[in-house]
Chains A and B, each alone.
Chain A
Amino acid sequence: MSLTGLKKHVQILEDANLVTSEKVGRTRQCRLGPEQLEDAVHWIELYRRQWNRRLDGLETYLEEKRGAQR
């Protein structure tokens, strides 16, 4: 791949917030950006809390229903 081609690809990744790059001396260092990954962690935590809350609710609902039938 040509240097120009490589730069173009890095730019695409930077635009997608997937990498950040930094010029260090004569080299450019690329780093996998945290933003997108943090986004996934955010969703996973949101869903985890939500499932626990829903299962609490479902359990309480079924307990009350069973209690009412006795």
Chain B
Amino acid sequence: MSYELRVERLIDATPEEVFDAYTDPEAVNAWFTILDEGMIVENEIDLRVGGKWVSKWGFSPEEMFRETNTFLVIDRPHRLVSKSEGSSPDGATVETEVEITFRDEGGKTLMTVVQTGFPDEGLRDFLATEGWNGAFDRISAYLAAQKSKS
């Protein structure tokens, strides 16, 4: 049992067009802001396995969201997998994994985003499987391991 965030969209373009628009820095800056006038956005993309996509966006320089994606799989135009580290202006951070697939649907593209690994859901699952009875020491060990990871 693990939580996942799934978002799907059928886009009227080929998988190649969608994949390229999704990963080209100039295109990314264009579509990031196309619906949000006044949004500040910066994207740097090093599209290779191990490379990083660094994004900053927000409506004022003091209140910026940041996200760094490290590419794990690049399979143009089918699939893109990355490790994501996100942070909000209040300093909260979250580490997740993002898998995006681009599937040809008769000339259109079904783009599916699956994001997994939201940490506290993991903890909830851990508690659900391990239970509470006599589990305090194991939970403490789990928390210590989480802390040393971050």
Contacts and interface: CB of A to CB of B under 8 A. Distances in A.
B121 interface: yes
B12 A40 contact: no
B124 A51 contact: no
B140 interface: yes
A1 B35 contact: no
Contact of B18 (A6, A52, A62): A62
Contact of A58 (B22, B96, B119, B137): B22
A5 B134 CA distance: 11
B7 A44 contact: no
Contacts of B12: 59, 62-63, 66
A10 B136 contact: yes
A32 B111 contact: no
Interface in B100-150: 111, 113, 115, 118-121, 123-124, 127, 132, 134, 136-137, 139-140, 143
B136 A59 contact: no
Give the size category of B's interface with A. 35 or more
Given A40-B119, A48-B7, A57 B34 contact: yes
A55 interface: yes
B17 A62 contact: yes
A39 B91 CA distance: 13
Nearest to A39: B120
A44 B121 CA distance: 10
Interface of B: 3, 5, 7, 9, 11-13, 17-18, 21-22, 27, 30-36, 86, 88, 92, 94, 96, 111, 113, 115, 118-121, 123-124, 127, 132, 134, 136-137, 139-140, 143
